[in-house]
Amino acid sequence: MKLFYKLAISGLFIGLFNNSYSQITIDSLSIFNDENIITATDSSFSFTIQGEGENLTWDFSQLTVQRVDTLVPLRPEETDFADEFPEATVAFQQAGIFLLFAADENGFVNLGAGGDVSNMDIRNNLSFHNTPADTILNLPLHYLDQGTYDCRGGSDFDVNVFGQDFSGRISHTVHRRQKVDAWGTITTPLGTYEALRVKEHTIMIDSVFVTIFGMDIYQSKYSRFDTTDVYSFYTQTDKESFLVATVDYNPDENKVNFVSWRNYLSSNSGVEKLSMTEQDISIYPNPSKGIFNIKSDASNFKTTVYNQLGQMIIEQDNAKEINLRNYPQGVYLVQIEGDNIHLTKKLILTR
């Protein structure tokens, strides 16, 4: 989930910059545009992080594709949590959990999350609201802008432990410190762009407690404490503005953990093909009245389908088709995972 959250943030931003080379500014953004977001990741790329400054040059042209991720933007009404998050403008899903976001002229924020957490033996679907909303990007954004943002969220739940039902609570806390510390030119395998660089330090704490016989027992298996340092590079093209690359960095070891970069956008059409590696995958027809065919050159992959609640309804190995004839019409998500590839696609089931 930690990696997915970073990837979900990386590529969401589509806005308008001014044309001044010496003062790039993000004025507005429009997150939902019915386009899948395809990113690639390289965990072996080595380089030295440059300090703050103007007119810098970042050469990531030698990045290699080690992993491919496809993010599918959903309209909030395509999930089961639209009523709980009426301000949401877009949602993303991973492993049964929906992340709900909102974007306007003031910025881009994570409102909260909801979904199926049955892998934790929790009996009810969970949802929690961030208070205030988790600020991912504040707008308008200029060189040398900086800010500190804190949010909290949580949810009560029922859980089965050793055959007995107990109550519990998940607590979620995020602290972000951001600074637009540089501008210059960045080169990736996708091309060369003028860019703003945002430096961010994040502390994220998820704590899970189960109340057993009046005592709150900390569940270390499902809890986490993460600190991350990330550099994000934003740019513009003639058609759109987006996050070109994200560098996950370990300042204590002066080491780059991985680099993720936007590779290309693919249209949500009847046949979608992912050709980021030697393994090609297409899913068709879409929309469909029940049968979705899978064409792939991959020899070993897993197909998982989720409903609007985030519940897994189908899991198959090396599937040639997805059969949804016995399910109600609506929007479903399919995830296909194999060597060096992670494809997520929205399926439209009609009658």
Q: Where are the domains of the chain?
A: 2-267, 272-349
pLDDT for residue 233: 94
CA–CA distance, 111 with 311 (Å, rounded to integer): 21
pLDDT for residue 28: 62
pLDDT, averaged per 10 consecutive residues of the chain (351 residues), comes to 48 39 60 69 89 94 86 86 94 84 90 78 75 92 94 87 80 96 93 92 94 86 90 80 90 90 60 44 89 85 87 91 93 84 84 80
The reply to whether omega before 328 is within 30° of 0 (cis) is: no
DSSP state for residue 290 in the 8-state scheme? S
Largest CA distance in the chain: 64
pLDDT tens digit sequence for 146-180: 999 999 999 888 877 667 788 888 899 999 999 99
The CATH architecture assigned to 272-349 reads Sandwich (2.60)
Report how far Cα 243 is from the mean position of its chain's Cα atoms.
13
CA-wise closest residue to 346 among 307, 312, 319, 289 = 307
CA–CA distance, 198 with 213 (Å, rounded to integer): 47
Phi/psi of residue 40, each to 5°? -120, 155
Q: What is the mean pLDDT of the chain?
A: 82
